[in-house]
């Protein structure tokens, strides 16, 4: 294991570092050449949080450079893209964001930044700004508005001033000095700082699908794992061995040629080429650094970005990925590495499984749900218009690197998705784990890395144990469906809409968990008390236990449950808890209709 990955604070040892006030976003605003990017990078490094330049998110999302957007679509289109990028960034936590000089022109942007973050204005005199901008290699091209500097300056200064929580004068100062001032300002602003997170050790869990040692792989869980990811990849013996054998399947002697492409041009060492698959947001937050790291470890890196939302988890994106791989001459000795949530992992895994009959696959999950669930167990799939995850296969990664520090930037709504699954694991595992969650609610909600390392690795261990007995859902793996039969039905009847008019997966699963406990109680599988305890736990984690504010018809839910793709030969199998640690599988048709009706009415009203 890579010692470098155990401590992400190495680079800031000895430096003084406050915490970001209440986990907020730190926005840097200011005129062109005020140093937002260079100071932002430094600040992020000092605070050990990711840095995102909002212009990067705009260009990676649009697939066009900023000057091209101005030229081809006009300033209005750019401003719209900028506002939607800022909105996405405003939902994050613990991240430093450099904004474009004109971001403050929109009242909506100004209000959004003030409300969701700590806004730092890097003030620079006009003459110095122009001098700095002209000093940097003929940058007029990438600064389409430079010519109008004086006019813009007059308009923007009052807007920076009215938006900022903190103003830092940058005149004649180097970025390091400005960064120190910003840090001091943060300290004054947030007096509640109490040192930094304590990092636990990395925990490694081995997954051995159906007990087949030849297919086993490691899931690393820790804080700072990502900082050593390239090094870990280069050092991974499993990856070396397995990618070599994948590159030369029985009956073939060479790594194979891409369809219509050139012969492989990698250095010849297995895994020396990496295709990074991500979405633009995660790429800006963590992927860029990973790419730099991989390059300095000697890897050649290719990058495939796609929207990364559920609507893009389909065969069209898969085809685009195949085109990309084939056009770039990717063969079986190239590692496909996904970094992102479950959508990115599922799609990347499906592509890795099917392209050239399988290429080495490595996962870097960055959502709680992906770390404890989606990245472990080998299910990879994309959606079909008729059903979610309809097209897929079983394909295990060769290595999973889960860095709990990446969870600090997750929007609350996304973090909650994973918390529902964590409660599910606890009910499968037993009293100990339920108590562990009940006893660390504050730390869980504060995303304390030590607590998360402990809980994420416990969840991974549970999934690893289940997958080692039943990879393909015929036996104990059905326990993982606890809460999901109703959860999927609720998502289905509300049209898989996460926000308005629908329920997110995690919220639906939380309601499903509470309902499963109620069914157990009403069918005499367990005594009264379990559902109240689980309800209390879910609610304290911020999860719903009934459908509020949505009209959902009970019969529609029952029909949706009967259509669940996990039904076998027409029978729906429900995982029901007797008590934490003891689950039973029951046929839906064996549950008395009055129990189904009454318990459903309770959670649907």
Residues of this chain that interact with ligand NAD (CB under 6 A) are: 92, 279, 281-282, 285, 308, 310, 313, 340-344, 346, 366-367, 369-370, 373-374, 377, 379, 388-389, 406, 409-410, 414, 417
Cβ neighbors of 435 (< 8 A, separation 6 or more) are none
**Which value, to the nearest 10 degrees, does the dihedral of the CA atoms of residues 249, 252, 254, 259 take?**
-90
Q: In angstroms, give the least distance from the CB of 490 to ligand NAD.
A: 15
Quick one: tokens of 431? 């009293």
Q: Please name the helix (run of DSSP H) or strand (run of DSSP E) that holds residue 7, with its range, or none.
A: none
CA distance 238 to 394: 19
Cβ neighbors of 191 (< 8 A, separation 6 or more) are none
Scan for tokens 């470890």, then name that residue. 297
Q: In angstroms, give the least distance from the CB of 308 to ligand NAD.
A: 5
CA distance 264 to 413: 43
590-to-418, 473, 514, 519, 571 alpha-carbon distances in Å? 31, 21, 19, 12, 10
Centroid of chain to Cα 478: 25
Based on CB atoms, which residue is closest to ligand NAD, 302 or 344? 344
CA distance 41 to 76: 28
Based on CB atoms, which residue is closest to ligand NAD, 256 or 308? 308
Based on CB atoms, which residue is closest to ligand NAD, 447 or 535? 447
Q: In angstroms, give the least distance from the CB of 545 to ligand NAD.
A: 20
Q: In angstroms, give the least distance from the CB of 505 to ligand NAD.
A: 6
Based on CB atoms, which residue is closest to ligand NAD, 200 or 377? 377
Based on CB atoms, which residue is closest to ligand NAD, 152 or 344? 344
- Is the CB of residue 482 less than 8 Å from the CB of residue 463? no
Cβ neighbors of 439 (< 8 A, separation 6 or more) are none
Based on CB atoms, which residue is closest to ligand NAD, 159 or 510? 510
Q: In angstroms, give the least distance from the CB of 403 to ligand NAD.
A: 9
- Is the CB of residue 26 less than 8 Å from the CB of residue 99? no
Q: In angstroms, give the least distance from the CB of 339 to ligand NAD.
A: 9
Based on CB atoms, which residue is closest to ligand NAD, 131 or 565? 565
Based on CB atoms, which residue is closest to ligand NAD, 302 or 369? 369
Q: In angstroms, give the least distance from the CB of 52 to ligand NAD.
A: 10
Based on CB atoms, which residue is closest to ligand NAD, 346 or 564? 346
In a 3-state reduction of DSSP, which class is residue 238? Answer: helix
Chain position whose Cβ is nearest to ligand NAD: 342
- Is the CB of residue 250 less than 8 Å from the CB of residue 429? no
| Torsion angles phi and psi, residue 472, rounded to 5 | -110, 25
98-to-42, 361, 401 alpha-carbon distances in Å? 12, 33, 28
Q: In angstroms, give the least distance from the CB of 296 to ligand NAD.
A: 23
Quick one: tokens of 161? 């001033």
Based on CB atoms, which residue is closest to ligand NAD, 26 or 370? 370
Q: In angstroms, give the least distance from the CB of 92 to ligand NAD.
A: 5
Neighbours of 30 (CB within 10 A): 27
- Is the CB of residue 479 less than 8 Å from the CB of residue 566? no
| Strand pairing class (25-29; 95-98) | parallel
Q: In angstroms, give the least distance from the CB of 378 to ligand NAD.
A: 8
């Amino acid at each position: 294991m890579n010692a470098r990955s155990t401590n992400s604070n190495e680079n800031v040892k000895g430096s003084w570092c406050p915490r970001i006030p209440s986990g907020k976003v730190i926005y840097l605003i200011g005129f062109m050449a005020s140093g937002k990017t260079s100071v932002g990078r430094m600040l992020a490094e000092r605070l050990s949080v990711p840095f995102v330049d909002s212009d990067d998110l705009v260009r990676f999302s649009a697939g066009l450079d900023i000057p091209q957007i101005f030229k081809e679509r006009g300033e209005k289109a750019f401003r719209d893209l900028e506002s939607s990028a800022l909105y996405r960034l405003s939902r994050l936590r613990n991240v430093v964001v450099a904004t474009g000089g004109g971001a403050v022109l929109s009242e909506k942007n100004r209000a959004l930044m003030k409300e969701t973050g700590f806004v730092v204005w890097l003030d620079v005199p006009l003459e110095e700004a122009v001098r700095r901008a002209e000093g940097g290699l003929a940058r007029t091209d990438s600064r389409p508005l430079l010519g109008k500097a004086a006019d813009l300056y007059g308009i923007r200064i009052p807007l920076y001033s009215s938006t900022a929580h903190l103003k830092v004068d940058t005149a004649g100062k180097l970025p390091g000095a400005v960064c120190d001032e910003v840090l001091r300002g943060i300290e004054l602003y947030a007096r509640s700082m109490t040192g930094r997170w304590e990092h636990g050790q990395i925990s490694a869990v081995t997954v051995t699908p159906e007990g087949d040692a030849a297919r086993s792989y490691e899931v690393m869980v820790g804080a700072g794992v990502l900082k050593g990811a390239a090094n870990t990849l280069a050092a991974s013996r499993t990856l070396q061995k397995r990618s070599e054998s994948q590159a030369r399947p029985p009956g073939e002697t060479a790594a194979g040629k891409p369809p219509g492409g050139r012969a492989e041009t990698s250095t010849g060492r297995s895994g020396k080429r990496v295709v990074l698959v991500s979405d633009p947001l995660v790429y800006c937050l963590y992927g860029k650094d990973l790419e730099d790291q991989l390059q300095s470890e000697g890897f050649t890196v290719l990058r495939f970005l796609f929207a990364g939302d559920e609507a893009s988890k389909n065969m069209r994106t898969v085809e685009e990925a195949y085109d990309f791989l084939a056009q770039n001459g990717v063969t079986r000795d190239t590692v496909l590495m996904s970094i992102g949530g479950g959508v990115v992992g599922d799609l990347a895994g499906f592509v890795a499984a099917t392209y050239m009959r399988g290429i080495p696959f490595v996962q870097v999950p960055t959502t709680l749900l992906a770390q404890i669930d989606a990245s472990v167990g080998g299910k990879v799939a994309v959606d079909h218009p008729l059903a979610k995850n309809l097209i897929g296969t079983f394909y295990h990664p060769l290595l999973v690197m889960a860095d709990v520090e990446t969870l600090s930037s997750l929007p609350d709504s996304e973090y909650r998705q994973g918390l529902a699954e964590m409660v599910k694991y606890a009910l499968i595992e037993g009293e100990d784990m339920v108590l562990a969650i009940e006893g660390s609610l504050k730390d869980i909600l504060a995303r304390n890395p030590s607590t998360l390392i402990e809980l994420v690795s416990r969840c991974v261990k549970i999934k690893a144990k289940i997958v080692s007995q039943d990879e393909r859902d015929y036996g104990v793996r059905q326990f993982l469906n606890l809460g999901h039969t109703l959860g999927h039905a609720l998502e289905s009847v509300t049209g898989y809409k996460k926000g308005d008019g629908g329920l997110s997966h995690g919220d639906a699963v939380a309601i499903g968990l509470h309902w499963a406990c109620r069914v157990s109680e009403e069918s005499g599988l367990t005594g009264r008390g379990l559902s109240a305890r689980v309800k209390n736990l879910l609610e304290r984690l911020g999860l719903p236990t009934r459908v509020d504010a949505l009209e959902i018809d009970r019969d529609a839910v029952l029909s949706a449950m009967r259509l669940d793709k996990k039904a076998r030969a027409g029978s729906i199998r429900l995982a029901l808890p007797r008590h934490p640690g003891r689950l039973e599988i029951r046929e839906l048709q064996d549950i008395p209709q009055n129990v189904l009706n009454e318990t459903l009415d309770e959670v649907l009203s």
